[in-house]
Amino acid sequence: MRNRDASSSKLLGIAGTGWLFDAMDVGLLSFIIAALKVDWNLSAQQMGWIGSINSIGMAVGALVFGLMADRVGRKNVFMITLLLFSLCSGASAFTTTITMFLVLRFFIGMGLGGELPVASTLVSESVPVEKRGRIVVLLESFWAVGWLVSAVISYFVIPRFGWQVALLISTIPALYVLYLRIGLPDSPQYTKIQAKEKISVFQSMAKLFSKEYSRQTTMLWIVWFCVVFSYYGMFLWLPSVMVMKGFSLIKSFEYVLIMTIAQLPGYFTAAWFIEKFGRKFVLVVYLAGTAISAYFFGTADTSAALMVSGILLSFFNLGAWGGLYAYSPEQYPTVIRGTGTGMAAAFGRIGGVLGPLMVGYLVAGKTSVSMIFTIFCITVLVGAAAVLILGKETKSKVLE
């Protein structure tokens, strides 16, 4: 038993560190967008496109690498995606045009989009059933640490040394891939099916919409779309929204740093609740909390109200993310788990394209911040309703 616990902790640490680097890159982007607006005199629409092209890449990456994970293994895909986004992120530090920056952000997005669902699938298949939900949520908690690191880098590095230096720091994950090759075992579930005949890509995709799995697929696609649409629409624009509300760029970095710290207790409470009350409870409650917090953040007109609602927004939203990553791989058998989780994430990334774009165009059209965040509030409530009505509880379910 002690060996299994040690093995689970080691896997969590290895996969979680990769997750941390992913979050650091996405977090840096939200601050870099605000800095690029000043350096390159970007319009609101161009700012929106930076976030959206990243999500287009994530959609493609989640689909392509999700399919690959069912054929060449979770570990191999994990390393490829980590290397792809790390090297492209470093290369983007040397760009001087918005066009080249967008091209590299597409490939960075591919790496990010492929790594996240594959890592959660790998961990889900490798840990004891009674701890699976908690450990996957704790894996997701590394995202908050990555955002925290990005906020610290952005606060201390970007104003003094520029956004290019911040991006160069994000290339560190490329070196980590060398360690992964030695330290990370592949999924024991995947290893078992390697000896068996694998089904084709088209059979895998068709199976997702068969009578047996169509309800789970529909539910996952809805909730992934709603969560990703709202998350990237809100969080990529957070520093810029703070500036719109009258704060300086430096002050907005300080506030977002404080809000980011609130993500950690959100994850830890979700990790505790998910094994005690189940996956549906965590997703529905934390998504409802996200929706309410988004509404009050949008309507906040004082510093205190903005901070409290922002902290609650971070707390509930990232706790919901943890629940979603734990819940998604549990919907399918091993032979199509990578495909099913990857395609749900890929569909969700369409929301990640539309969210930042929508904010950019609404801001350009002089739409109020309160109205924008009301839209996100409604969207998140739709996702909560999908889980409540269509979702099946998977707590203590043994993965096939």
pLDDT at 246 over 80: no
Residues 379-390 pLDDT 10s? 999 999 999 999
Angstrom CA distances, 324 to 102, 372, 383, 387, stand at 29, 24, 11, 10
Q: What's this model's pTM, rounded to 2 decimal places?
A: 0.80
Section 207-222 average pLDDT: 92
User: Above 90 in pLDDT, residue 101?
Assistant: yes
Q: What is the pLDDT of residue 250?
A: 54
> Is a pLDDT exceeding 80 seen at residue 90?
yes
pLDDT of residue 219: 96
- Other beta carbons within 10 Å of 19: 25
Whether the pLDDT of residue 163 is over 70: the answer is yes
Rounded to an integer, the average pLDDT of 167-171 is 85
Top-confidence residue, 3 or 240? 240
> Is-contact 233 247, C-beta < 8 A?
no
Weakest-pLDDT range from 164-168, 265-269, 363-367, 388-392: 363-367
Over the chain, what is the mean pLDDT? 84
How far apart are the C-alpha atoms of 157 and 142, rounded to whole Å?
Answer: 22
> Is the pLDDT reported for residue 195 higher than 60?
no
* Separation between Cα atoms, residue 32 and residue 76, nearest integer Å: 31
Predicted confidence (pLDDT) per residue in 133-147, tens digit? 888 888 888 888 887
Residue-range domain boundaries for the chain = 2-176+203-390
d(CA 280, CA 191) in angstroms, rounded, equals 30
Calculate ∠ Cα 141-217-326, nearest 5°: 20
Report the pLDDT averaged over residues 196-205: 72
CA dihedral 273→387→135→143, nearest 10 degrees, is: -100
Q: Residue 253's pLDDT is what?
A: 64
CB atoms within 10 A of CB 244: 14
Q: What CATH code would you report for 2-176+203-390? A: 1.20.1250.20
Closest-CA residue to 171 (of 102, 108, 106, 78): 108
As a whole-number percent, the residues of the chain with pLDDT over 90 amount to: 23
